[in-house]
Structure 1
Amino acid sequence: MIRNYLKIAWRNIAHNKTFSAINILGLALGMVCSLLIFLWIQDEFSVDAYHANGTRLYNVMERQLYDGKVVAAPSTPGLLSDELKKKFPEIEYAAGFSWEDQRTFTVGEKFNREKGRFAGADWFSMFTVPLLEGRPETALNAPANLAISRKLAENYFGSPQAAIGKSIRLDNQTDYQVTAVFENLPDNSSEKYDYLLSWQDFIRRNEWLKDWGSNAPRTFIQLHQARNGDLPDADRLEAKLKHFLKEVNPRMKESPFKIELFLQPFPEGYLYSNFKDGYQDGGRIEYVRLFGIVAVFILLIACINFMNLATARSVRRAREVGVRKVIGAVRSLLIGQFVGEALLLTFLALVLALGIVWLLLPVFNTLTEKHITFRYASPSFWATLLGMALLTGLIAGSYPALFLSSLNPIRVLKGSLRFGSGARLFRQGLVVFQFVLSMLLIIGTIVVYRQINFIQTKNLGYDRENLIYLSAEGNLVDKYSTFKQELLKSPGIQSMTYMDGTPTNTFGSTGNVQWPGKGPDVSIEFQFSTVDYDFTKTLKLNLKGRDFSKAYGLDSVSYLINETAARRIGYVDPIGKPLTLWGKQGTIIGLIEDYHMTSLHIPIEPLIIKLSPDPERKNIIIRTQPGQSREALASVETLWRQLNPKFPFSYKFADQEFQKLYRSEIVVGTLANYFAFLAIFISCLGLFGLAAFTAEQRTKEIGVRKVLGASVPSIVTLLSADFLKLVLIAILIASPLAWYAMNRWLADFAYKIDIEWWIFAGAGMLATVIALLTISFQSIKAALMDPVRSLRTE
């Protein structure tokens, strides 16, 4: 029986090549979108999921209560990890972890800048990072120890075995011994590094980390496995940790600035990175859910397209059903036949979809910055494909199968077959549903595009064009003055300074700020940065008062503040007013107009800037003359190689670094464009099918109208009006849904566009024009038919 079903199905496919091709293409495109999204979602969930002890790993975070706000932050005191391990027996391992660091490695004549971190001695005991050489307990247990990746070991020494025990000079200053070589980190690791230095060395380099009031690095812990094999009780430990900082930092007991510790499961850190009012509030998981819904929507649109096209051919297959029923075919067998045809088409579409995905995957990986591959050896991958094909085929074939198998054989064979209003309304409902989904994608695409464009063109308060960043390292630290003087004489260079961090990523924050009249209960967190002379000139900041100047000997205790800081302090005219930072009393010499020092997701915060005489580990910021970037970079590189020959020359453009703040939004916007286009295209295939069905049903009516003198335009209008009503209904339904959804998305931005009425009008007009063009082909074809032939049609 199944063999006969397949034969009949194949004959129908071969006999109706155009119909079959459109159906297969529609289903294939739907599955291409769904499969790409599935692979992307699968990759998102795989990030950090490979750690064997993942269920016992936690990120220790701070919930900071100040200034009437509650803020969650991953930064913690540098001494926290060792202290927690001593005080809490539930903790098996604990390790501090620094921000990304770049240092120049020198081995013989080879030198290059590498990216790495500082990590606690327990790091390799906690995380599944296989050691090729060395032992987890001793890899990072001494200040001069260094663990490197397989890639670095092969680059500098030829192999992991040859690297162990060898010395590497860092920043041309200190020699470190390779005590471990670890396997290159997998692509699905959220933390990237090619080397690790010991936590003891990190504390030695940064004395301020010994102060319990200073926060910067992160802290990870691993809990002991419960005796009965259950997961450890993290909630009970979290309750003990909550006020731990008060015990180790007596100053906090009297301070209005309150800090509580809490735990976030490490596997959740990547997808649930956003916090609101101090508590977890989404993150990348929102995009995972969004695209999961989009995948389902597009697959549904493809299935509806199949239903409409199958319905359009129902008149031609009605007699086949009538004959089969007369000779004894029961309804269940007919349903099996039509579902079998749908499944065969679906599996053909799946083969085509796999080929398209295979071709598109490199482009998709570039777009999403992923390394997704087909997991041919994974049974779950093939099971998912099989499940997707079966589900798609069953959904797509269900309505045509039920509808055609229900036809009355007597009415069919007498030629008196008429379709009821219920069937018509159902088909129209499918079209409305398709265009509702398409409208949601079109409106969402427009809003995302406008918000990204707003971000990219908004005046940030400083000029990010023609700015380049360099790292102050090596001989450049001692020869900075010479470097600056010579560079300012070079072609293409306009001005130069340095600062902690970058204009869009300040170095840190502090609440240790005093001023006359400050109340005992006032707690305000200030962003801060230390800079060189010419800071405001180089960034082209608007300034009242003056910048730091060598003409003023006391500028070491002078401060610049932004407008938000002045408002929070309560200074109407802050120039010349006193301010104390970290116990050093000074004077405010300049008021900077507010500029965005981080992404537009976050409101502008109070900022204090002080002068620093030491450029070490800071970012040199150079403003080039407009249109002379190439000449300027040539001048910088030439001087760099003269003064700092042992360090590789590298630079970054400020505008490119700014774009990285919105990498997720840009990827989402681009993907939304493609998915919206495909949704509309597949929807139009379905509309094409329904228009063909309607034209076929009204063939005799059209012939009569033409005989009575109806013109071609009037018939086209008659046939098109009903479909345009459906599109209009879809627009009315989709608009409020899109407004709600996009308002929720925009809520994550502190600075955002308004969703204006013309967005909905424009999207509606676009959908209407596309639908009209789709319908007009069938309408014009029907209107031009010879009325004699129309009236002869049985």
Structure 2
Amino acid sequence: MLYNYLKIGLRNLMRHKVFSLINIFGLALGMTCCIFILLWVKDELSFDRFHKHTDNLVRIISVQHYPGSDDLITQSGNGMIAPSMARELPEVERAIRLSWNQEELFSLGEKAFKVDGLYADTTFFEAFTFPLLYGDSKLVLNEPNSVVISDSVALKFFGSTNVVGKVFKTNNSKSYKVTGVVQKPPKNSTIQFDFVKPYKDYLKENQWLNDWDNYGMRNFLQLKPGTDLAAFNRKVAHYPTQPGRGKRDIDVFVQPLKDAHLYSDFRPGKTNSGGILYVRLFSAVAGFILLIACINFMNLATARSSKRAKEVGVRKAIGAAKSQIITQFMLESILIAFLALIVAVNLIGLLLPAFNELTQKAVALDLSNPNLILLLVAVALFTGIVSGSYPAFFLSAFNPVAVLKGTAKSGKGAAFFRKGLVVFQFVLSGILIVSTLVVYLQMEFIRSKDIGLNRENVLYVPMEGDLAKNYDVIKQELLQQPAIVSVAGTSQNPIEMGNNTPDVEWEGKDPKADLLIDIMNVDYDVLQTFDIKLKDGRTFSKAFGADTANYLVNEEAIRLMQLKNPVGNWLKVWDVRGSIIGVVKDFQNRKMQQGLKPLVIRLTKNKAYYSYLFVRTSEGKTSEALKGLEQTLAKHNPAFPFEYKFLDDEFEKMYTSEAIIVKLSNYFATIAIFISCLGLFGLALFTAEQRTKEIGIRKVLGASVSRIVFMLSKDFLKLVLLANIIAWPLSWYLMHKWLEDYAYRTELSWWIFALAAIATMLIALFTVSFQAIKTAIANPVTSLRSE
């Protein structure tokens, strides 16, 4: 019986090749998008799940309260809390502190490379089970001046991975002995490194980590199996403020490590958001596109029901049960779905490299993986069952007597259902088009918005080696070069601040107010280098020797401090009291989602506070400036390779994930429209077939080609217009919610919705009119010959 069903199905596919190709290709495109998204989602959900103790690993998140401004919710904590919890709380098995990643220069003889890594407690490789190729996980970080390197670093320097005992020099100063070699962390790890050094070595240079009120470490815990996370969070909520600890108003909670990648947005009210929003969004998009493809199948199957009515009538007349008819048609749709799956798998194989490059991932279509095979089969079965369900029940319900008499009709219900499916298709397509336009406009808004400083023609290098010691000489030599306009050292990248403090006092401060304020230590000429505008007062000047105790503040700081005439008022940062000498216009010192932050700019002559050397070049002379900069740094800092970054490139990188979303949205919206139009084309083709003789008669009676094209197209265009009207409020709501994530955002203007409607109408018109024109210009004699 099954063999007969499949044979009948294959015969029908071969008999109606055009409609079969439309069905198979439409489903294949839908499956391709769906499988790509599922592979991407699977990769996103796999982060940090490869560790042996994944279910028990958590990171400590601090919630710092500042009356007068928003809470600061951050992974950055003090160096005391994790070991203290390990000593005092029975639920904690291990405590692990990690520094933030940093680049260091590793050198061996003539070889020297920048290597990215971190400092960690001795328990790091016991809790986080990154595969150690050489070395004992309990011992590799026990000794001072020991280092664990990744296999890629070992191969780069030695051409081998068995290098335990070898010695590196780091930052052209200290020597470190290799005590272990670890496999480089996979891309689906939130913790990335190429070297790990002992935390105790880091502590020697950063004694402030022993202060409960200083924050700058990442803290992780390995909890004992069976620990109730909710109960543990209630227990530790006020841990930092218990007697004998910090003075700040701070709460903490722990977050499972396996949630760290997807739930990483720690703004107030956003602790359950982050990458998970895009996972949910694209999962929905995958369902939309696959559903659009399934609707094509349903529409064409029900539209062509009259072609198979007699087959159903005969089978019923000779005793076939309704369940057998349903089974036959369901198997046919599943057969088509599996044929489409074969096409989809081949398309994925061809497009996978481009997809990985676009998404910056390394997903693979491993057909030897049984879980992946099950996933593919599940997608095909789901597609086949969904797309074939309605046609199967619809066709199996035909009355055999009426069919064989030739009086059976599909009725208005079936036609209404088909129209409803077309509308639903284009509602989904309309939402995708509007969403794509809004996402694109938001990204363009971010790129073009005046952020308060000029990031063009600005490059920078890290302050490392002898740069701080030779800073004044280097700056003087650089300023003598015609291609260089201005030079300034700073402690922070002005577009991505990371240093702040609540220890700021000002004239008339409310005793209850407690603001968290960004601090940037700078050299003279900082405003000129970044082209930051001065609103009031003056900037730092060598003519005023006391400026090292004076401050510049931004407009946001003045607003929060509620100072009416700030210039001349006293201000104290930490223990240094001085005066506000100028107010700079606000510039964007965080990502757009986070809005503006209050800022105090301090002049310091201690170059050890500088992290970057910024250079503004003359327009059109970047190459000349780079050459001069390289020569100058090679002379005064020869041990370190010349590496630089452009400020505008770094600004773009801040929005890499959004840029990927824009591109993916463009592709998915285009494919959704294409699949919808593929179904529309099939329906137009069938309609033209059904009305061939009517059109022939109309032409004989004098109807023009344009009139016939209009007649065949108008019903479809009405459906597409209705779909757009329905899509407008839905897409407005979805995009309004998405834009709420940005402190600065584009407007949801009416023309966005109008443009989306016009685009879908024109695409639909082109799709339908192609077949309509072909039918309208056909010779009426041919269509009426049998009459």
TM-score (norm 2): 0.96
Contact 1:535/1:547 (8 A) holds in 2: no
Q: How does 1:546-625 map to 2 (within 5 A)?
A: 546-616=538-608, 618-625=611-618
C-alpha distance in structure 2 between counterparts of 1:793 and 1:463, whole Å: 76
User: Bigger shift: 57-66 or 400-409?
Assistant: 400-409
* Equivalence for 2:160: 159
C-alpha distance in structure 1 between counterparts of 2:783 and 2:161, whole Å: 82
C-alpha distance in structure 2 between counterparts of 1:460 and 1:793, whole Å: 74
* Equivalence for 1:542: 533
* Equivalence for 1:294: 285
Aligned amino acid, residue 137 of structure 2: P
Q: How does 1:121-160 map to 2 (within 5 A)?
A: 121-160=122-161
Using the TM superposition, give the Cα deviation of residue 585 of structure 1 relative to its aligned residue in structure 2, in angstroms: 0.9
2:735 pairs with 1:734: no
Q: CA RMSD in A?
A: 1.9
C-alpha distance in structure 1 between counterparts of 2:496 and 2:582, whole Å: 21
Amino-acid identity (%): 46
Using the TM superposition, give the Cα deviation of residue 679 of structure 1 relative to its aligned residue in structure 2, in angstroms: 0.5
* Equivalence for 1:655: 648
SS of 1:220's equivalent in the other structure is strand
Which of 349, 354, 360 does residue 363 from structure 1 map onto? 354
Q: How does 1:222-233 map to 2 (within 5 A)?
A: 222-225=222-225, 231-233=226-228
Aligned amino acid, residue 366 of structure 1: E
Contact 2:120/2:198 (8 A) holds in 1: yes
C-alpha distance in structure 2 between counterparts of 1:79 and 1:93, whole Å: 14
SS of 1:102's equivalent in the other structure is strand
* Equivalence for 1:432: 423
* Equivalence for 1:33: 33
C-alpha distance in structure 1 between counterparts of 2:135 and 2:81, whole Å: 26
* Equivalence for 1:177: 177
Contact 2:554/2:586 (8 A) holds in 1: yes
Which of 404, 408, 425 does residue 417 from structure 1 map onto? 408
C-alpha distance in structure 2 between counterparts of 1:646 and 1:276, whole Å: 41
C-alpha distance in structure 1 between counterparts of 2:335 and 2:266, whole Å: 48
C-alpha distance in structure 1 between counterparts of 2:323 and 2:461, whole Å: 74
Aligned amino acid, residue 592 of structure 1: V
Which of 469, 478, 481 does residue 478 from structure 1 map onto? 469
User: Bigger shift: 321-330 or 141-150?
Assistant: 321-330
Using the TM superposition, give the Cα deviation of residue 588 of structure 1 relative to its aligned residue in structure 2, in angstroms: 1.5
Aligned amino acid, residue 477 of structure 1: A
Deviations 1:350-379 (A, max 9, x none): 111111101111111111100111123321
2:404 pairs with 1:403: no
Deviations 1:76-124 (A, max 9, x none): 1123222222222321111211222011011122111111112222211
SS of 2:72's equivalent in the other structure is strand
Contact 1:311/1:693 (8 A) holds in 2: no
Contact 2:118/2:193 (8 A) holds in 1: yes
Aligned amino acid, residue 62 of structure 2: E
Contact 2:298/2:390 (8 A) holds in 1: yes
Aligned amino acid, residue 141 of structure 1: N
SS of 1:469's equivalent in the other structure is strand
Which of 314, 321, 324 does residue 333 from structure 1 map onto? 324
Aligned amino acid, residue 464 of structure 1: R
Contact 2:77/2:219 (8 A) holds in 1: yes
Contact 1:72/1:279 (8 A) holds in 2: no
User: Bigger shift: 77-86 or 486-495?
Assistant: 77-86
* Equivalence for 2:753: 760
Aligned amino acid, residue 635 of structure 1: G
Deviations 1:597-616 (A, max 9, x none): 11100110110111233334
Task: Count how many residue pairs are aligned between Structure 1 and Structure 2.
Answer: 784
Using the TM superposition, give the Cα deviation of residue 418 of structure 1 relative to its aligned residue in structure 2, in angstroms: 2.3
Aligned amino acid, residue 33 of structure 2: C
Aligned amino acid, residue 48 of structure 1: D
Contact 1:93/1:222 (8 A) holds in 2: yes
Contact 2:306/2:409 (8 A) holds in 1: no
* Equivalence for 1:388: 379
User: Bigger shift: 232-241 or 523-532?
Assistant: 232-241
Q: Segments of 4+ in structure 1 off by > 6 A? A: none
* Equivalence for 1:669: 662
SS of 2:184's equivalent in the other structure is coil
Which of 784, 788, 792 does residue 777 from structure 2 map onto? 784
User: Bigger shift: 37-46 or 64-73?
Assistant: 64-73
Listed as ranges, the gaps of 5+ residues in structure 1 are 226-230
TM-score (norm 1): 0.95
Using the TM superposition, give the Cα deviation of residue 786 of structure 1 relative to its aligned residue in structure 2, in angstroms: 4.4
* Equivalence for 2:104: 103
C-alpha distance in structure 2 between counterparts of 1:308 and 1:236, whole Å: 54
Aligned amino acid, residue 639 of structure 2: K
SS of 1:674's equivalent in the other structure is helix
SS of 2:614's equivalent in the other structure is strand
Contact 2:32/2:344 (8 A) holds in 1: yes
Deviations 1:427-482 (A, max 9, x none): 00110010000000000000000000000110010000111120111122211111
* Equivalence for 1:228: none
2:308 pairs with 1:307: no
Which of 674, 689, 700 does residue 696 from structure 1 map onto? 689
Using the TM superposition, give the Cα deviation of residue 11 of structure 1 relative to its aligned residue in structure 2, in angstroms: 2.2
Aligned amino acid, residue 93 of structure 1: R
Which of 441, 444, 448 does residue 439 from structure 2 map onto? 448
Contact 2:492/2:521 (8 A) holds in 1: no
C-alpha distance in structure 1 between counterparts of 2:243 and 2:96, whole Å: 18
Listed as ranges, the gaps of 5+ residues in structure 2 are none
Using the TM superposition, give the Cα deviation of residue 347 of structure 1 relative to its aligned residue in structure 2, in angstroms: 1.2
